[in-house]
Amino acid sequence: MASSHIILPKEEEAEAEAEAETRLGTVVEADHDSPAQLPLQDHAPGKAALPFSATCVRISRDSYPNLRALRNASALNLHDDDAAFVKLEEGDYGYVLDDVPHLTDYIPDLPTYPNPLQDHPAYSTVKQYFVNADDTVPEKVVVQKNSPRGVHFRRAGPRQRVYFESEEVKACIVTCGGLCPGLNTVIRELVCGLSHMYNVNNVFGIQNGYKGFYSSNYLPMTPKSVNDIHKRGGTVLGTSRGGHDTKKIVDNIQDRGINQVYIIGGDGTQKGAYEIYKEIRRRGLQVAVAGIPKTIDNDIAVIDKSFGFDTAVEEAQRAINAAHVEASSAENGIGLVKLMGRYSGFIAMYATLASRDVDCCLIPESPFYLEGEGGLFEYVDRRLKENNHMVIVVAEGAGQDLIAQSIPIADQQDASGNKLLLDVGLWLTHKIKDYCKSKKMEMTIKYIDPTYMIRAIPSNASDNVYCTLLAHSAIHGAMAGYSFTVGMVNGRHSYIPFHRVTSTRNKVRITDRMWARLLSSTNQPSFLSKEDIDAAREADKAANNRKNGENAKKQHASVLAKGTVGVEAPPTASALSHKPVTGAAPPSASPDVDAARTQEPDNNAKNEAGAAAGDQDQRPSQEAHGAGGSLTQVEEEKPTPGTGASWPATPPGTRTPPQRDVAPAPRTGDRNARAAAEMEPDVEAVKPGSGCTTPPPPPAHDSEASDDGRGSPLHEKPGASVAAASRSRLLAFQSFSRDKKASNSDTAEHKEKGKERRKRFWKWSSIKVVAGR
């Protein structure tokens, strides 16, 4: 058996092999296991560079013991029996081709024939219709400037030379596993493509899955017999799980002279196709095996998506819409929809993103819990109080560990080896009912299970086109002598080795941006564990405590800067030293405001509001300045250090009379201030939406009584009181803006504390205004 399909010049063969071994041992390992970048390689001066195909060395059975480099290149844990069927080609700059097996790997000197498409009238006008032999598709398209080129797959498409004559081709088609939209479309396009493009007349259908190879007669298929089957759901060939007997299947393939086998099914079916290929190769048969991946869960590895997935997501919208109508039409209504997704929640995730009516999406990749802080029950309770209804979408594989804790049951498997799942939708329905009953909450829940509805319908337009391209790509590859699984990789159809799609499974990455988009759409919690929540809370609390001092200083400076706009400057220290201080309030005269300043130091928003109230306490003289002129000076400033002033011995609670020897302010300023106050909108008339902090109420109007039982200060001192009210409005709205910006939640507790803080603030403001009279 030859170790390579590429023959190098004898004088350069040893050098090229040594260079390839070096690159495989270091460069490929760095590509997958470390961020080290591959330096660019320059050819030796004066030496002609070999063509790209000549720099590739094929790793085959004779290349092991270099299995470690092969595993690093394919990023897989290969079994020893799989390693003998894996082919890697390695080129410059970290290029690795994970190639598919070919007939010439075990049958040398096979004759080739011209491709019949070159004489086909429909393709005669196509420019460069045949695929170049060196065309490959990268597995990853996002790379860095100097990173290695990475793993590639052989590009799908027609080749200029084929390894089967049209008259000698005997092809068979089999469908296995569960149903999926588009199965009949793939069958139709395989039959019509073989007939119309390659003039193949012997196409047979295998009925009822793998067991149909040895338990039933083959069904002849022609373009006429499959003309309109794409308009129907399901599969005209029938399907089943299990029944895979490799020896019996290959015996029938050999006895009937089949030389092309097209197998449509999921990852388990592709594993069976891989075993069939291995047995065919051991027997040395000239048979090509082409796998077309089919799964409604979209969990096939490597490929972008499987056919039928778009149709399933579109059909799932109908169930979600129905659940939303049921939930929104009832008081505290809940619509629960269970969708398919045994190990991967792609259908649930994409259906949720497309719907925008879903409040919670549960998938197998993201564990959740029911009770406790941050659990599902708490979120359901909060959502019902906010919206009076909610819609929950759950994948069938989600929450199986929670069900197992409450319903002990032995693990069971179906004929395909998949674990039998318990009904998470029904279990979750009963759990939510019990929780609402314990809370004495009236609730209506509707459980909708469209699991088998979304897979039994015909494919939509986009899936029909996708199925056609998959079928044609499979035909081109089989005629060219390859055995593979066909799929779209980064938007290009490619031939993928069997081991790449059978050794792992595609799953939703909850650390990816797509899952973050879903959380942003539903506003659901991430359902982290309580330990994670506690750790995050302690970290946030420590960070808030460290920033408390800085926030208070910044807020104080901000209020000072904003409060001096249009306000007369306070008197200087020298002026205060020559004026008698008759009514300065001691620090103890503002217990409510000081309490508001020191309340809950771990909350930034509350600290900022307290700082704003403290600033007003420290600078009460500026409350008597309006936005249009100077008002009566109220001597309540604190003594400036170094001036010799001191606090008077005024008993606590004694009301200090204002200073009488200051000239009154002009009346024009009063009119301007009154006009500005009247032009301000009534904040109570504005109803904020959910998630918005309620703004503080305005000061009491003339018809309202003050806190101390007297009439409103606006009656007795129009100029000073209106200006003070305007000033108080300004500071209140500044505090409201800061509260709204710093607020991260809209809980009832936060609202109540905010109301109490504002009540104390307005009470102390009214006391100071009355004191200024």
Write down the pLDDT at residue 383. Answer: 94
Residue of 47 and 481 predicted with greater confidence: 481
Question: Residue 727 corresponds to which tokens in the numbers above?
Answer: 């000033």
Amino acid at position 338, single letter: K
Mean pLDDT of 706-718: 42
pLDDT of residue 466: 97
Categorize the per-residue pLDDT at 735 as very low, low, confident or very high, splitting at 50, 70 and 90. Answer: low
pLDDT grade, residue 401 (50/70/90)?
Answer: confident
Asked whether residue 263 carries a pLDDT value surpassing 90, the answer given is: yes
pLDDT tens, 452-487? 899 999 999 999 999 999 999 999 999 999 999 999
Distance (Å) of CA 300 to CA 111, 494, 738: 35, 14, 50
Confidence check: pLDDT of 635 > 50: no
The answer to whether residue 93 scores a pLDDT higher than 60 is: yes
Report which of 665, 663, 697, 667 is spatially closest to residue 680, judged by C-alpha positions: 697
Name which residue leads in pLDDT, 727 or 479: 479
- The residue with greater pLDDT, 424 or 217, is 424
Residue 160's pLDDT band (cuts 50, 70, 90): very high
> Which is higher by pLDDT, 587 or 258?
258
Please determine, for residue 26, whether its predicted confidence score (pLDDT) is greater than 70.
no
Each as own residue / partner, the long-range contacts of residues 50-53 (CB below 8 Å, 24 or more positions apart, any chain) are 50/12, 50/16, 52/91, 52/92, 52/134, 53/6, 53/133, 53/134
**Residue 274 tokens, joined:** 């891989």
Query: What percent of the chain stands above pLDDT 70?
Result: 58
At what angle are helices 246-256 and 267-283 packed, to 10 degrees?
Answer: 60
The Cα 750–Cα 745 span in angstroms is 8
Q: What is the mean pLDDT of residues 664-673?
A: 45
Whole-prediction pTM: 0.62
Q: What is the pLDDT of residue 754?
A: 77
Q: What percent of the chain has pLDDT over 90?
A: 45
Q: What is the pLDDT of residue 321?
A: 95
Residue 388, pLDDT > 70, answer yes
Lowest mean pLDDT among 224-233, 302-311, 692-701, 731-740: 692-701
The string of DSSP letters for 609-655 reads: HHHHHHHHHH-GGGGG--SSS--PPP--PPPPTTS------PPTTPP
Is the pLDDT at 221 greater than 60? The verdict is yes
Residue 230: band (very low, low, confident or very high) from pLDDT cuts 50, 70, 90: very high
Mean pLDDT of 393-408: 88
Helices (H) and strands (E) in the chain, counts: 24, 18
Q: What is the mean pLDDT of the chain?
A: 73
Q: Give the pLDDT band (50/70/90) at residue 725.
A: low
The CA distance from 526 to 529, in Å, is 9
Q: How large is the average pLDDT for residues 423-445?
A: 93
Beta strand 113-114 with 136-138 is unpaired
424 CB-side CA count, 13 A:
27
251 pLDDT above the threshold of 60 = yes
The catalytic residue positions are 297
Residue 604: pLDDT above 50?
no
pLDDT-derived band at 118 (thresholds 50, 70, 90) equals confident
pLDDT at position 623: 41
**Would you place residue 729 in the very low, low, confident or very high pLDDT band (cuts 50, 70, 90)?**
low
Give 324's pLDDT tier (boundaries 50, 70, 90).
very high
pLDDT digits (tens, 9 = 90+) for 521-578: 999 988 866 665 566 567 667 766 654 554 444 444 444 444 444 444 444 444 444 4
330-356 average pLDDT score: 94
pLDDT for 590: 40
The larger pLDDT score, comparing residue 56 to residue 361, is at: 361
* Confidence label for 682 from pLDDT (cuts 50, 70 and 90): very low
Provide mean pLDDT across the span 285-312: 94
Query: How deeply is 104 buried, as exposed, middle or buried, from its count of CB atoms within 10 A (0-12, 13-18, 19+)?
Result: middle
* pLDDT tens readout for residues 192-211: 999 999 999 999 999 999 99
Summarize the confidence of residues 272-287 as an average pLDDT.
95
- Provide the pLDDT for residue 587: 41
Residue 747's pLDDT band, with cuts at 50, 70 and 90, is: low
Report which of residues 233 and 705 the model is more confident about: 233
Question: Higher confidence at residue 620 or residue 238?
Answer: 238
**Residue 175 reports pLDDT greater than 70:** yes
